[in-house]
Amino acid sequence: MNNSIPLSRTDLTDLIRNKSKEIGFSLCGITPAVTPTGFSDLKKWLDQGHAGEMHYIENRLDAYEDPRKVMEGVKSIIVLASNYSSKEHPSLEKNEGRISRYAWGELDYHDVIKKKLKTIAGVIHTHRPECKTRGVVDSAPILERDFAQKSGLGWFGKNTMLINKKEGSWFFLSAILTDLELDYDNSHETSHCGTCTKCLEICPTDAFEAPYELNARKCISYLTIELKKQVPIDLRKGVSDWLFGCDLCQDVCPWNHKIPENQKIIFDTPSPLTKINACELLEMNGESFRKLFGKTPLSRPKRAGILRNAAIVLGNRGQHDSVPTLISSMNDEEPLVRGASAWALGEIATPEAVNALEARLLLENDPEVLAEISQAINNIQKKK
């Protein structure tokens, strides 16, 4: 039982801020748990169909509007940022593909951050044993970005990312909901993007309908992570060498060039997952895939999604020595992998690739894969 004199609201707020900094959070902001100002924009975005297959957003729409539907009695939201990278992408070698910086850690960032949230929640409960808290990392229908802006952590960039003057946009957002009233920060009302449009211009799939408006259906991150179907043919070239996610619109942001090189990041150990050989991916069975990626964000698209991406990367890179691997992967148990491999072979279009496509056309029984093979063969014939 805690017999010490209870901390005042201000002292408890200061303790939370200090503890968050001590255990490695880059930023901490606190705001009332009210309807986020961006909720109407979310509804409009969904009505426009920009969410694609992310139906979980629409299914939980009521909760996004009212934080009390996420945790009953919530009064305050503590928003925390964890910096994840100020390093450059490594140069690619033959048949390799890129991984978005946020997935470079050997562990899933959800697990790393959740432990830190529990530490802060423990501090709160030590001084307010009767209170309620809930830590969330992409696990609840909370518009973290809106609450981060409301708690003073930054502004919305034209690429829809939250940007902070000192941290850029290379950070994860997480939150602790509590039924305590705390001291609140002022909202960040100004934007510091000026006339810059580098983030909009760099996107190879034209995912930005306008400044501050992202059509997720065209976004490389969505295509390589969230989309469970085949990547639309007209967007595959834009995917280029991205195996998982995309950093382009953040890479060119001037605010991300101002981060100190000695910035403490959440992943403090070197990771092998900065780039991956796409041929090696296509040779993985389910067990080897789970062993390598089961505890990382790369498990989200599952084996079929990652191998689909690997085939697209190989098709875009166009290296002839990847043809035997792609031919082999046309026998994969997953239609998604077979179809993407057929497309890739059509892009490389060596005589060996053409022969393999024609042979597979006689064996394939999946209608979508058959269509991929036929189109690949037709495209090769048009090029002759």
Marked catalytic residue, from 47, 138, 206, 321: 138
CA-atom Rg of the chain in angstroms: 23
Is 235 domain-assigned? no
Q: What is the pLDDT of residue 219?
A: 98
Is 72 domain-assigned? yes
Q: What is the pLDDT of residue 204?
A: 98
What is the average pLDDT across 314-339?
98
pLDDT at 2 over 90: no
Q: What is the pLDDT of residue 86?
A: 65
Answer yes or no: are the C-beta atoms of 245 and 100 closer than 8 Å. yes
Same domain, 163 and 291: no
Please, where are the H alpha helices in the chain? 9-22, 39-47, 55-59, 61-65, 109-127, 144-150, 198-202, 220-221, 233-239, 248-251, 278-282, 286-293, 302-317, 323-329, 335-348, 351-361, 367-383
pLDDT at 282 over 90: yes
Same domain, 154 and 281: no
Say which range, 13-27, 37-51, 266-280, 323-337, has the weakest mean pLDDT: 266-280
Q: What is the pLDDT of residue 268?
A: 60
Is 264 domain-assigned? no
Q: CATH code at 323? A: 1.25.10.10
pLDDT at 273 over 60: yes
Q: What is the pLDDT of residues 333-381, one digit of tens each?
A: 999 999 999 999 999 999 999 999 999 999 999 999 999 999 999 989 8
Q: Which of 178, 207, 237 is the last residue of a domain?
A: 178
Single-letter code of the amino acid located at 311: A
Q: Which of 141, 160, 178 is the last residue of a domain?
A: 178
Is 368 domain-assigned? yes
What is the average pLDDT across 47-66?
95
Same domain, 170 and 32: yes
Crossing angle for the helix pair 9-22 and 109-127, to the nearest 10 degrees:
150
Percent of all residues in the chain with a pLDDT value above 90, rounded to a whole number: 86
Same domain, 290 and 160: no
Same domain, 173 and 313: no
Same domain, 174 and 278: no
Is 284 domain-assigned? yes
DSSP result, 197-212: -HHHHH-TT--EEETT
Same domain, 146 and 292: no
Confidence of residue 51 (pLDDT cuts 50, 70, 90): very high
Single-letter code of the amino acid located at 80: L
Q: What is the pLDDT of residue 383?
A: 78
Q: What is the pLDDT of residue 74?
A: 98
Q: What is the pLDDT of residues 242-268, one digit of tens each?
A: 999 999 999 999 999 887 665 666 666
Is 100 domain-assigned? no
> What letters, b where the CB count within 10 A reaches 16 and e where it falls short, cover 250-259?
bebbebbeeb
DSSP assignment, residue 164? Answer: B
Same domain, 287 and 173: no
Is 303 domain-assigned? yes
Same domain, 142 and 32: yes
Q: What is the pLDDT of residues 110-126, one digit of tens each?
A: 999 999 999 999 999 99
pLDDT at 4 over 60: no
Query: Could you give the CA distance from residue 279 to residue 259 in angstroms, rounded to a whole number?
Result: 35
Domain span at 362: 274-384
In terms of phi and psi (left: phi > 0; alpha: psi -120 to 50; beta: otherwise), the region of 160 is left
Same domain, 286 and 156: no
Residue 168 β-bridge partners: 164
How far is residue 122 from each of residues 11, 55, 153, 173, measured CA to CA in Å?
16, 34, 23, 19
Told to judge if 138 belongs to the known catalytic residues of this protein, a careful annotator would answer: yes
Indicate the burial class of 233 (C-beta count within 10 angstroms; 0-12, 13-18, 19 or more): exposed
pLDDT at 188 over 50: yes
How many C-alpha atoms does 163 have within 13 Å on its Cβ side? 28
Confidence of residue 1 (pLDDT cuts 50, 70, 90): very low
Q: What is the pLDDT of residue 267?
A: 65
Q: What is the pLDDT of residues 203-237, one digit of tens each?
A: 999 999 999 999 999 999 999 999 999 999 999 99
pLDDT at 159 over 70: yes
* Strand 171-178 to 155-156 pairing: unpaired
If DSSP codes are grouped into helix, strand and coil, which group holds residue 269? coil
**Domain count of the fold of the chain:** 2
Same domain, 160 and 285: no
Q: Give me the sign of the Cα torsion angle 149, 152, 155, 161.
A: negative
Q: What is the pLDDT of residue 250?
A: 96
Same domain, 167 and 293: no
pLDDT at 26 over 70: yes
* Strand 96-99 to 242-244 pairing: parallel
Q: Give me the sign of the Cα torsion angle 299, 335, 309, 56.
A: negative
In the chain, what are the helix, strand and coil shares in percent, each to the nearest 5? 45, 10, 40
The per-residue pLDDT of the chain, averaged, comes to: 94
Residue 175 β-bridge partners: 79, 136
How far is residue 202 from each of residues 199, 221, 253, 256, 262, measured CA to CA in Å?
6, 14, 10, 15, 27
pLDDT at 90 over 60: yes
Q: When comparing pLDDT for 141 and 86, which is higher?
A: 141
What is the average pLDDT across 147-171?
96
Q: What is the pLDDT of residue 262?
A: 55
Is 258 domain-assigned? no
Q: Which of 136, 159, 178 is the last residue of a domain?
A: 178
